[in-house]
Structure 1
Amino acid sequence: MPFKANADRRHHIPAQRHRVKNWSEYDAGLRARGSLTVWFSEEAIEGWRAAPRSTWGGQPCYSDLAITTALTLRTVFRLPLRQAEGLIGSILQLLGLDLAVPDHSTLSRRAETLEVLRPKASSEPLHLLVDSTGLKLCGPGEWRVEKHGSKRRRGWRKLHLATDADTGRIVAAVLTGKDADDGSQAGSLLDQIEGSVASFTGDGAYDRDDVYAEVTSRHSEAAVVVPPRANAVPSEAAETAPTQRDCRLQCIAKRGRLGWQRASGYNDCALVEADISRWKRVIGDGLRSQTDGRQATEVAIAAGVLNRMLDLERPEYVRVA
């Protein structure tokens, strides 16, 4: 990538400076992210009790909305399940509501099969930005490894995210093993998108034939904005019937890699990297659950939390230097 080629003189390039134009609204939105009224809403109170069912088995006490609300509070305030149970009980007591409190065992059991609502599809075609990161699962901490060493390696899971470039919202998330490569998850991310896709943008790890095939098979008009590898060569039919990848190689040969990045909009990939940074700072860099089902629920709820924080208020930047 260009920044690697220019690494010896990067210190001469000053960092960009921006100013937030809607600071008062954004400041109020940041404070609202910690308000209990945002996460424990009237809708959750009204739908707390589960609807009776006519099938065999015991009747559920709590609706999926109640379990989702409890797990959301746990995610926002980074609580273990027992502390989350205590927080919900204190909220219901302060509000004077005659509602049962789901215990930690119920929260853990229901999280295994809980269906979290996906983000609503946009009426406009989405410009997807995709990337991945690692989430810690178990094993010795950094302090123990640094000071005493450790023979047991830390466990990791890999989180694959797809972000809407226009709104910054996370529209798809897939959790895999640490050895899964990014390109193999393109189809799984696209399967979670209900609306149409205008473009699919990712880093060089997505420069694969199967990624182009997955995008084209689902959204034939979508553009795949992926930087070709350094040793990439055009296809045999590049002169007569060039593919999207061939067109990118021709543009890079004509304008250079930096010129192609500006022309294609590839620089927007910084937005999905910002989402990953927000995930690590707000949600954390690890997983609290142990089974695959609970981890999938944890990831889905965390994505919903970050999206709801964006709905409160987003900063509007203007470059000043």
Structure 2
Amino acid sequence: MTPQINNKINRSIKRYWLGSNRRWGKYNESLVDRIEYLVDRIEYLADRIEYLADLSFIKDNDRLLEEKNNGKIGHPYKVPDALIIYLARLRSIFSIPFRSLEGVLRSLAIIANIKSISYSEIFRRIRRIKPELNNINSKLDCIIDSTGSKITIRGDYLRHKWHKKRRGWIKLHVIISLKDVTVLSFTITDEHTHDSKAARKLLSKMKNNILRLFGDRGYDSKYIYNMFGYNAIIPPRKNASTEFRGSPARAKIVRFIKKNSMEQWKENNSYGKRWLVEIYFSGLKRVMSEVIKAKKIEYIVQELALKVVNYNIMRGMTHAY
């Protein structure tokens, strides 16, 4: 509700009823300082901007195109894979439609004197990309967790008003490094897949690279405890048994918690570090957008995977400390 202003009071106060006692000299100076702060941060953000605007591959366009068409049967490609990967990067970060990507490519074609292709060809070439992470060769402390992503931009109001069927969520399961908060491995499932079930697939590939594994109660399973022993920093359920029942390590952890307290166990094992995964999920959704625009399930999975891979590269370029 807008406050009522007395017409008889000073005109300047009437106009600036909110903050009328503000020290404008100091306020103006603070606004100038904001811009100085932004300029100071340009160097910090430079690597990310270079990643988004890296067009160095264009100078090798002819060579890359020749390699791509070497031995190809039928109509030759007009643009190399490097250019398609660049367009996929723009789409995953800014959610640019395919027709808009064709506009971007047309502009690049004019500037760099290269060929352009239609949005349908861009679509087909991008959908052939298989997002992959770099391999690791060392043992690290890791965190395992999952989060959901929307597969529709429809809000609850429209769903209730027009009785639209709920499309659900797509679920991202990740193992991240505790050291630099980047993804080491991930898998994508529907919303009904339990965390511990998806963990089996992830951990079977990563178990030799994990020193300690942090997770929430959703990963309280004998399979994980038997794989990592006391290095599984996962709180047991409240009704967990103190008996062995297939997992001695889990039983010993439960007995310690019942004898002392959950808080004491968490403090002894630095369990608070698990929250770094929430920082990762927050950044992923803010920077890369939470909504997936693809409709077919295979395209939904690929689009989310591209977001994860590209955000991983961007996090690797960030030096916060």
TM-score by length of 2: 0.75
Q: What letter is aligned with 2:318? A: E
Q: How does 1:130-149 map to 2 (within 5 A)?
A: 130-138=144-152, 140-145=154-159, 148=161
Alpha-carbon RMSD across the aligned residues, in angstroms, is 3.1
Q: How does 1:283-294 map to 2 (within 5 A)?
A: 283-294=288-299
Equivalent residue of 2:194, what SS? coil
- Choose 1 or 2 for highest CA Rg: 2
Are 1:29 and 1:312, in contact at CA under 8 Å, matched by a contact in 2?
Answer: no
Q: How does 1:214-293 map to 2 (within 5 A)?
A: 216=227, 223-236=231-244, 243-293=248-298
Alignment correspondent of 1:19: none
Q: Aligned pair in 2 of structure 1 residues 223, 258: CA closer, same or farther (>3 Å)?
A: same
Report the CA distance between 1:112 and its aligned residue. 3.2
Report the CA distance between 1:108 and its aligned residue. 2.2
CA distance in 2, matches of 1:194, 1:42: 38
Report the CA distance between 1:302 and its aligned residue. 1.0
Are 1:207 and 1:228, in contact at CA under 8 Å, matched by a contact in 2?
Answer: yes
Alignment partner of 1:80 is 2:97: yes
Alignment correspondent of 1:319: none
Q: Select the residue among 152, 163, 167 that pairs with 2:176.
A: 163
Unaligned runs of 5+ in 2: 1-36
CA distance in 1, matches of 2:188, 2:138: 27
Report the CA distance between 1:167 and its aligned residue. 0.7
Stretch of structure 1 that moved more, 124-133 or 53-62: 53-62
Q: Aligned pair in 2 of structure 1 residues 53, 165: CA closer, same or farther (>3 Å)?
A: same
CA distance in 2, matches of 1:92, 1:184: 47
Q: Aligned pair in 2 of structure 1 residues 44, 250: CA closer, same or farther (>3 Å)?
A: farther
* Runs of 4+ deviating beyond 4 Å: 23-26, 55-58, 191-195
Q: Select the residue among 122, 126, 130 that pairs with 2:140.
A: 126
CA distance in 2, matches of 1:89, 1:207: 53
Report the CA distance between 1:42 and its aligned residue. 1.4
Are 1:137 and 1:156, in contact at CA under 8 Å, matched by a contact in 2?
Answer: yes
Unaligned runs of 5+ in 1: 1-22, 317-321
Q: What letter is aligned with 2:302? A: T
Higher relative CO (CA 8 A, sep ≥ 6), structure 1 or 2? 1
Equivalent residue of 1:138, what SS? coil
Report the CA distance between 1:128 and its aligned residue. 1.9
CA distance in 1, matches of 2:39, 2:155: 39
Equivalent residue of 1:184, what SS? helix
Q: How does 1:3-152 map to 2 (within 5 A)?
A: 27-28=41-42, 31-32=45-46, 35=49, 38-43=52-57, 46=60, 49=65, 51-54=68-71, 56-93=73-110, 96-121=111-136, 123-138=137-152, 140-145=154-159, 148=161, 150-152=163-165
CA distance in 2, matches of 1:173, 1:256: 33
Which structure features the higher share of helix residues? Answer: 2
CA distance in 1, matches of 2:71, 2:46: 41
CA distance in 2, matches of 1:308, 1:25: 24
Say how many residue pairs are matched. 282
TM-score by length of 1: 0.75
Alignment correspondent of 1:203: 216
Are 1:68 and 1:301, in contact at CA under 8 Å, matched by a contact in 2?
Answer: no
Report the CA distance between 1:37 and its aligned residue. 5.6
CA distance in 2, matches of 1:149, 1:24: 45
Q: Sequence identity, in percent?
A: 22
Q: Aligned pair in 2 of structure 1 residues 210, 56: CA closer, same or farther (>3 Å)?
A: farther
Are 1:128 and 1:162, in contact at CA under 8 Å, matched by a contact in 2?
Answer: yes
Q: How does 1:187-198 map to 2 (within 5 A)?
A: 187-190=200-203, 193=206, 196-198=209-211
Equivalent residue of 2:254, what SS? helix
Are 2:174 and 2:185, in contact at CA under 8 Å, matched by a contact in 1?
Answer: yes
